[in-house]
Each structure stands twice: as C-alpha cells, then as structure tokens.
Amino acid sequence: MPLNTAVPDALIVSGDALIQRLLRQKGAVVIPAYACRLDGFVNDTFTEYANASIYRPASVCRARLVSALRDTVYPSGKFYLGFTMYTVAGYDEPIEVYIGHRQVALARHPDPDNRVHLFVAPEGFPFRGGEPIRLVTAPTDGPCRVENLVLLPKRPRPMEPRLDIRSPHVDVRHADGGARACLTWITNRPASGQVRWGMEEQKAEGRRQKADKVRVAGPLCNHEVVLEGLELGRAYGYEVQMKDRTGRLKAVYAGTFRTDLAAAQSRTGKARFPLLLRRPAPGPGPWPVSVGVPFPQGALGSDAEIRLVGRRRAEMPLQTRTLARWPDDSVRWALLDFQSHGGSGYTVEYGRDVARAQPGAPLDVAQSRTGIVVNTGPIRVEFPKGSAVFPGIVSLRQADGTYRRITFSMPAPAVTLVAGDGTRYVSGRPDAVTLEEAGPERVCIRIDVRHRSRGKALFRSVFRAHLFRGSGALRVLHTFENDRIDAEFTGIRELRLRADLDVGADPAGEAGGRRVGSLNAQPVCLRQTHDDRYAVAQGGRVVARGRRAEGSLDLAGKEAGVALAVRDFWQNYPKGIGLDRGGITFEVCPPLGKDDYPRGGELEDRLYYYLLDGRYKLKHGVSRTHEVWFHFRPGGATAPQGFHENVQSPPLFSVSPETFNRSRAVTRLPSRERSPVPPYEAWVEAAREAYAADREESRAYGMLNYGDWFGERTYNWGNLEYDASWCFLQEYLRGGDPAFYTWAEEAARHLVDVDTCHHSPNPKAAGEQYTHCVGHVGGYYPDGYRERAIFGGRWSPSHTWVEGLFLHHLLSGDPRSIEGAMKTSGLMAGEMVNDYDFTNCRNCGWPLIHLSAAYRATGRRVYLNAARIVVDRVLERQRPSGGWERLMVPGHCHCLPPRHTGNAGFMVGILMVGLKRYYEATGERRVRDAIVRAADYCIDAMWAPEKSAFHYTSCPLSSVGGGADMRILKGVATAFQFSGKERLREVLAAGVQSAMAGRLPKAHRGVGKGICSPMRGAPQVLVDLPGEGGMR
C-alpha cells in the first residue's frame, strides 16, 4: 500500500510520565487496543510486555502483510485522535490513521527507540458519535505493538527530538612517563562522531594549533575515548562532536582538563594484616605463590609500600603489582609474588612508613629485536621472535657458572595440529612475543602464534611462560582457540606440543610415576582415554594400565634431567604425554580411534559428543587452556621431590574475612568461625560433599566438560549457572574448605575457555557466553533430541557470569580470567544499552551486577555509565507499588488470560542486588530508596507469613516455597540496612530461619544449580542480619 505523502504527520509525544498525564486528563477517552476489531493483530497474552497491548505476530511480519485495527467512536465532541505504540528499534513501522474514509495522519517515528510514544492527528475532529476509525499498517516487518486508542480533548504539544550529551567525565592517569586521559559520556540516543583535542596553552598564546582528532565509533549511547601520549602538567581542551544515526540531530560538548598528576599518597603510616595459609604444599618448598590482597580506599598509595615478613619478623623477598585502584587512585588490590617454604605465619605490612628491601639476585630479563631472554639463575630461557619454541630455548647452568643449551639447535615446531582431512599445520613465526609481567620474583612471557600450512591457517595458540627467581621451574599455560569462522564446527585429528631436549647420553625416564628404563630405542607414551582408564605403551606394547594417571614424566641423561607435570591431566581427558631420547611430547588432543567413543546412549551426548568417529569436533570460538610445568636440573641430580603433587595442589594463601571486610574492596562476608547462622555452615558442608560426590556420579570430566556441573533440566550442562566461581570464592574467603578455591579456579577456566565464544562470523558476538545446554555450546544435536534439553547455543545477559571471573583475577592475578570477563562486559557496555528498555527484573538485574563488577575491578567509567543507562530506565519503570509489574507469562501465572500482572519474586531479588551493586559504586539516594520500595513490594505481594516464605510470583495462586528464597532475602537484607524498618527485620529473621530449615543438599543431577542459587546470596544476607552475632 503506497503511503500518502500529502497527509500530515502525526504529532509525537514521548516520555512515560507525560503520556500517562495526557491519558488521565479530564475529558480524555482511552480505548484498549485489544477491545477493538483486529485484522493481522493478536492480543498479547503470552509475552512479558509491561502493559496490555496487541501486536503483529511473526508470521504476519515475515509475510509483510497489511494489518488493521478498527473501532467505532461513540462519544461526541471535538477530539484529537491518537494512539500509543511501542516503537521497536531497527524497524520502520508507519501507520495510517483514518476517521471514516478520510486519512487524517501518518504516524511514523523517525528513530524508533524501544519506547512507547503517543501519536496524535494534528487536527481536531468534531465527532458526533458512531464514526468508524482505523489504524492501518504499511506492509512492514515491524510488530507495530499498539496499547491504546485515545481521544484527547486538547491538542498536545509535540516534542522536538534532541540529541544530548550527558555525564561527561575525564579520568587522567599516569602512563609511560606521561599521562593518558579517558573521556566518557552518554548520549540519549545512539550516535557517533569525533573528539577534537589539543593543548590549551597554544590556544591561549594565539599560536596556530592543529587539533588532533579521534573517531567515536557507533552509533552507540555509551562512549569512551582514550587520549594517549599527553604531557604532564599541561592544560588540554577537547570538543565532542556527535551526530545521531539518522544524521539529523547533532550535539557538541566542549571541556578542558589538566594533567597535573601527583602520585597517590598513603593515608596509613604503617599497618599490617596476617596472610593465612589455607592449604600447605604437599611437597617440600620453596614453591612460587601469587596471591591478591585488598586494601581500604586511601590507605595505600603505591604497591611499593608493601612488604612481607615471616616468622621472627624476617622480611621475605617480594614482588608486587597493582591489580585495581580506587577512584582516588589508591591501591585497591595488589598481587603479591613470593616463594613459600610451606609454613604459615606471614604478615603483610603496608603504608607510607614501610620500605621494602630489594632481593639480592633478582631475575635478569633482556629484550632485543630477536627475542626475550630470562635468566633465573639455574636456567636461562630464550623466547625468540622468529619461531615458537616449547617451552623456550633452555640452557642449564653448569658447575663452573656457564650455561649449556639443552634445547636442540633446530627444535621441532612448538605446535603441530592435524586437521580432519589430514593436513598438517605447525606453529610458525609468532605474531607477538611480549613481556607481559616482569619483576624480581616472577616473569611472564606471552607468545601468540597461528598454525599454518602452505599459506593457510587453522586455530591459534597463546603461550604464557612463567619463570621464577632462583628456580629451575618453568610454568607454561597453553591455550588453543578455534578461530575458524567460515564453519560452525571444525574437525581435527590431533594437536600436540613438542619440546626437543638433549639430556645427554643414556636417556631414561619415568611416566606416570612408573620407571620405563632406557629410551634409546623405545619411546614411551601414556594416554588417558577416559576418566577411568589409561595405558602406558613402550615401543608399541602396552606395559601398564590403570584408572587415573597423575600426568607426570621424567627424562634424565648424563647432562641434564627434566621433570614434567600436567595439572588436571586425567580430568581433562583425552590426554597424552610421551618420552623419547629426543625430548617430550604433550598431546593436548591425542589421536583417537574411530570407535574409542561409541555412539548411542546417554554417555554420548553427555560426555563424548565432541569425540566421535576419531575426530575432535570443535565449535568456532571455543578454546581450552592447559597448565604444564617443567623442572630442569643438572645431570646426576635427583628428580625434585613432590613436584607433581605441588603442581596439582599448590599452596594457597588468603587474607582473613576481617581483612577482606575491612577493605570494602568487593563486598562484605560473614565469618565462618563466628557464623551468625550456624545451620548455614552445616548446609555449606553438605553442599561441599554433594558437589564432590555429584562430580563422580555424573562423571563431570573431559577436556570440554571439566570445571562445569551437569544435569540442568536433566541433560544440560549447567554452564556455571549462578556464577559458580563467585559462589565458591565467597565460601573460600569466609574461611571455608580450600576445595572451594580449586573448584572456583576450574570453573573460571572452563567458563572463559569453553562457555565463552572468542571468534564468530558475527564479530559483535565475540565474548558472548552460552546458556546452559547440551555440549556447553550447542549445535551438536538437533532440537528435540532429548526431552526438556536445550540443544541450541544461545546468549543471554541473564545467564552470563563475570563477577566470579573478576574476583578470581583479583585473588590470583590470572590474566585470562580478566580478559574473558572484560570481553563479555564490553558487550554489555556497548550496543546492548542502545535504546535500552526494561523487559523483566532479571534481565536488568544481572547486567547491573556484571557492569558494577567490571567497574569495581577496572575503574573504567564506561562500565558505570552503561549501568547508569540501565538504572535510569529501571527507576523510570518502577511502579507506585514498588514493583515492576508486567504481564506474567505461563509458568509465572497459570490463570486463564488475561493473566495477572506482577513479578516473579526471585527476579525482583536479582534486580535489588544489581541496584545494590550500583549504589555501592555511586551512593545515589534514588537507588537506595528504590531498593527499599522493592523490598516492601515483595512482602506486600508475595510474603506468606504462615509459612515464613514467599510465593513464587505475585499471582495469588502461585506456589509457596518450602523455605524463603535467598535471592529475595538479599534485597530485603539490604533494604533493612538502608531503612531499619521493623517489618523488614521481622521478615528477614523469619525468612532466614525457614530457608535453613530445609533438607541438606545431596548429590543428584543438577545439584550444582541447587547449591549455587542459595550460596550466591546467602553470605550477603547473613552479613546484613540485625543484631550482634546474628540469629542463633
């Protein structure tokens, strides 16, 4: 249907509050759209949309059919005919407005923005009563969601669209002897543009100045531009020039800033706290330790003002690095690197009066055009830029102080990958060899390399090699990534790492703790094929079998000895390690037999889905990291005692709960030793036992499975729902079993490697995390293969987890955790907040939790601004009741349509926590008040006092839980802290008691979700309980 361009455009009024005032004015007539005659529209009784409405279903949109809404006007008088419609961003949804046969307006929003707008015919019409009216859509693919027809007694004032620049901020920091400035701002609609900047002194002196320009990508609502290479002590001017995506609206903002930077000063003269030994090393020391510790805001200006003392006040050699800073630039988190001799009794001292002694013989690092060389004392390792060598070109110190090279002069490629068609790819010249970390105690070298064959490339590898002062140990973390994006899945036959090592004459070895004798003629290979079987072969003959191999090798000759240990070897099956007279092979993906993993039965789609038919079937963007340790020693020296045991279970240190809480660097946690609710500690212990037992029962092992829990909806992998890393790290920091830290670390690695998509045909999808499904990433089986299971790989911010990744990085310094977390957080700070609208409480709450965690860990205001965009809309949508009523979907309300409006309580609880996280970063009173109102709403709409629990939803017929939902109690506890209301205290007291009165966890399918859901929030509830010592 051609649009009549001679018809006047409809007036447009925007803003929820203003529209409601117009609809409620005296004399206005409002006709619900669902009460009209519909052609091509349907009444919405199935979605979560906020208000009663009609829309065009997907079939009509795909066919681009014309749809119509008809009604008859019975009131008489002069009225302005209009309607309210939700305009969907990215869709053109023109609607013709008719009175009788006369078209009186064409309604079309110039920039649809996921908001309700009021469209009104510009001329009033003298209705006599009985006139037919129509809304007719164009042949569009837009849903054209209409809420009401309206008759207004007065002509509303149209609103001219504007492009506004809001919340501009400049953050200036030190950088490489100069300064860098990070400019952030928000626009009220997606826009792009440029920033022009230059020195103010040149402008003031009248000198001609060539302004620098920086492009502002977009269109986006959330903007960040970094200006590098600024001089210290200067004044700079800048101008932000923005244009919206229609090209019609422009905005300009000009500002200045100075680069007068003074180093942050410690307010604390000298203070100390204990560093607690949480798990001793099983083998003898020394053993390298990296541990993150927090500090209160303003307490510590520089990590140089930290020292570590042991028993009898002896200072320990120490390396420090700032991991996160407070807004005043003081140290928020610092990473401590030292070598532990297995004992406890360490104390951290910090403050302006603390001076740290320099180590006597620090690591020696030399960088040149050809590579990087690191000398630890016992070994010297070269990382050339011309080729990737595993684990590096190693030379061993001799008795006379010289070094003997034990890596062959022409070593094999570090990586060999055999594709599904048999093509052999090898690592070539690295794309980058960089010094990622450097200090007197530890150095980390990063090598990025692609695997190539005759001009083609397949997969990429990232090596991180860690070396330690005075040690012959070398830790390597190898990550492979499937960066092929022209196919959903890629099949490979094999991927192995090779270390060519010359240990001298008469090489002999051990594999998996078993001595295998001379290697002159017969190489040895140990392969773990399943979680419960391995075999050792020598010269093609199986010489030993067993259940779970320890993943260790030792190669010894007259000139040198080398020990190798692979962490979590059997857990990440299939795996292989091999010895021969020329060196060591680590089979990351060993060759598979065609029938090693037979088809059929549940074990196939639970455990072996990626191992069928003798091929590894890997989805684009998937990756996996493996940790390998070497130890080099002179010929004739004995192998290091307890080396494999220390690799598998290294010593763990942490601060006390009191130190953690005093810092306020993340959150507060209740002490396990002085628990405010002792029954909770019994529940945690039962949860620990159940989680460990369920791993064995569900056999939650394998390269792509390890670190996750199984059984969501019976057949799905959980993909760490409710952020298992965060849950377990909370319990570890409270003083819980160190197994919680180990599980958190395993979960973090799995989440970043497997559940996060790193490469995709859609570049904007990099960083997405897959929701719980079969095979973690989806696509292995068709929909319906198993009842209730999910087979497609989908991303949702409400099933995304970054808070645990950030905390793991802060506690360990692990760079991969923060890389993954920032990649995912970047998605939520980018296009996701364009035209942002409220859908349900959960879909808003989780992004607030994620973005606040990103801001807390990095200090980048772009994350806080993204959270602000979410908060603005959330508070705009909060109803007078304190809730966020919407149409409840089947499952939340089983009543016949029209179903009740309201919320699911757990979703409101998640939103309250998200608002709390934002409040902790900003202190905005409006957010604090919103949390209190939401807690009151949950009690008014869902609390069942006779059972001391909440209804599942605000539908009066919804079920009441056996105990109060911790997800809601988190918000109630926060609201009580803010308001001190007696009713909140009473509900909190009764709710905690009922929540802890249920059955203790036991191993079963999906117990991971049953554990992580309450464990995620319970510590925050307990720490906010009223009264001294909580409730007993």
Q: How remote is the C-alpha of 755 from its chain's centroid?
A: 10
3-state SS of 126-177 is EECCCEEEEEEECCCCCCCEEEEEEEECCCCCCCCCCCCEEEEEEEEEEECC
Distance in angstroms (rounded) separating the CA atoms of residues 610 and 491? 9
Mean pLDDT of the chain: 95
User: For 755, phi and psi rounded to 5 degrees?
Assistant: -80, -10
Give percent of the chain above pLDDT 90: 92
* Confidence bin at 209 (pLDDT 50/70/90): low
Residue of higher predicted confidence among 1030 and 130:
130
Query: 757, 621 in Cβ contact below 8 A?
Result: yes
Query: Who's near 211: CB < 8 A, 6+ residues apart?
Result: 196, 197, 198
- Angle in degrees, 0-180, between the axes of helices 739-753 and 815-828, rounded to the nearest 10: 50
pLDDT score recorded for residue 1029 = 43
Q: Measured over all CA atoms, what is the biggest interatomic distance in the chain, rounded to whole angstroms?
A: 111
* Confidence bin at 693 (pLDDT 50/70/90): very high
Sign of the C-alpha dihedral, residues 954, 955, 957, 961? negative
**pLDDT tens, residue by residue, 740-763:** 999 999 999 999 999 999 999 999
H or E segment at 493? strand 489-500
The beta-strand segments (E) located in 813-948 are: 886-887, 901-902, 943-944
* Confidence bin at 208 (pLDDT 50/70/90): low
Would the pLDDT of 785 be above 80? Answer: yes
User: Encoding tokens for residue 1012?
Assistant: 């992580």
User: For 729, phi and psi rounded to 5 degrees?
Assistant: -70, -35
The region of weakest confidence among 168-172, 632-636, 886-890 is 886-890
pLDDT score recorded for residue 177 = 83
Distance in angstroms (rounded) separating the CA atoms of residues 807 and 518? 47
Distance in angstroms (rounded) separating the CA atoms of residues 326 and 111? 39
Cα–Cα–Cα angle for 679, 685, 691, rounded to 5 degrees: 135
Distance in angstroms (rounded) separating the CA atoms of residues 567 and 628? 6
pLDDT score recorded for residue 175 = 87
| C-alpha dist (Å) from residue 529 to 339, 539, 753 | 35, 19, 21
* Confidence bin at 716 (pLDDT 50/70/90): very high
Q: Which of 285, 473, 446 is nearest to 377 (CA)?
A: 473
H or E segment at 1019? helix 1007-1023
User: Encoding tokens for residue 418?
Assistant: 């055999």
**pLDDT tens, residue by residue, 215-256:** 999 999 999 999 999 999 999 999 999 999 999 999 999 999
Give percent of the chain above pLDDT 70: 98
Count of Cβ atoms closer than 10 Å to residue 215 Cβ: 10
Query: 620, 484 in Cβ contact below 8 A?
Result: yes
Distance in angstroms (rounded) separating the CA atoms of residues 30 and 157? 19
Distance in angstroms (rounded) separating the CA atoms of residues 587 and 579? 11
pLDDT score recorded for residue 1022 = 95
pLDDT score recorded for residue 1030 = 40
- What domains can be seen in the chain, in order of their start residue? 11-152 (2.60.120.260), 165-258 (2.60.40.10), 666-1023 (1.50.10.10)
Distance in angstroms (rounded) separating the CA atoms of residues 910 and 967? 6
User: For 536, phi and psi rounded to 5 degrees?
Assistant: -110, 125
- Residue whose tokens read 């900003």: 922
Tell me the CA end-to-end span of the chain in Å, nearest whole number. Answer: 72
**pLDDT tens, residue by residue, 849-859:** 999 999 999 99
Would the pLDDT of 402 be above 90? Answer: yes
389 CB burial (10 A radius; 0-12, 13-18, 19+)? buried
- DSSP track, 663-699: HTSS-----STT-S-HHHHHHHHHHHHHHHHHHHHHT
Query: Who's near 5: CB < 8 A, 6+ residues apart?
Result: 106
Residue of higher predicted confidence among 899 and 613:
613
Q: Which of 237, 193, 234 is nearest to 211 (CA)?
A: 237
114 CB burial (10 A radius; 0-12, 13-18, 19+)? middle
Distance in angstroms (rounded) separating the CA atoms of residues 829 and 831? 7
pLDDT score recorded for residue 206 = 56
Count of Cβ atoms closer than 10 Å to residue 481 Cβ: 19
Distance in angstroms (rounded) separating the CA atoms of residues 753 and 678? 37
Radius of gyration (Cα) for the chain, nearest Å?
A: 32
* Confidence bin at 998 (pLDDT 50/70/90): confident
Would the pLDDT of 792 be above 90? Answer: yes
Would the pLDDT of 182 be above 90? Answer: yes
The stretch 370-375 carries a mean pLDDT of 98
pLDDT score recorded for residue 202 = 63
Query: 733, 669 in Cβ contact below 8 A?
Result: yes
- Residue whose tokens read 């070897």: 569
User: Encoding tokens for residue 428?
Assistant: 């070539």
Helix (H, G, I), strand (E, B) or coil at 398: coil
- For the chain, counts of helices (H) and of strands (E): 18, 55
pLDDT score recorded for residue 516 = 87
Distance in angstroms (rounded) separating the CA atoms of residues 241 and 808? 39
The stretch 191-216 carries a mean pLDDT of 81
Residues 300-315 as b/e (b if ≥16 CB within 10 A, e otherwise) read bbbbebbbbbbeeeee
Distance in angstroms (rounded) separating the CA atoms of residues 604 and 611? 9
Which residues are bridge partners to 438 per DSSP?
Answer: 443
- DSSP track, 82-102: EEEEEEPTT----EEEEETTE
**pLDDT tens, residue by residue, 8-37:** 999 999 999 999 999 999 999 999 999 999
pLDDT score recorded for residue 244 = 97
User: Encoding tokens for residue 163?
Assistant: 């492009």
Which residues are bridge partners to 442 per DSSP?
Answer: 468
User: Encoding tokens for residue 850?
Assistant: 């994620």
**pLDDT tens, residue by residue, 297-321:** 999 999 999 999 998 889 999 999 9
**pLDDT tens, residue by residue, 518-528:** 887 789 999 99
The beta-strand segments (E) located in 234-284 are: 235-244, 250-258, 271-279
827 CB burial (10 A radius; 0-12, 13-18, 19+)? buried
* Confidence bin at 980 (pLDDT 50/70/90): very high
User: Encoding tokens for residue 7?
Assistant: 């018809």
In terms of pTM, does the model score above 0.85?
yes
Helix (H, G, I), strand (E, B) or coil at 20: helix
- Angle in degrees, 0-180, between the axes of helices 982-995 and 925-942, rounded to the nearest 10: 60
Query: Who's near 880: CB < 8 A, 6+ residues apart?
Result: none
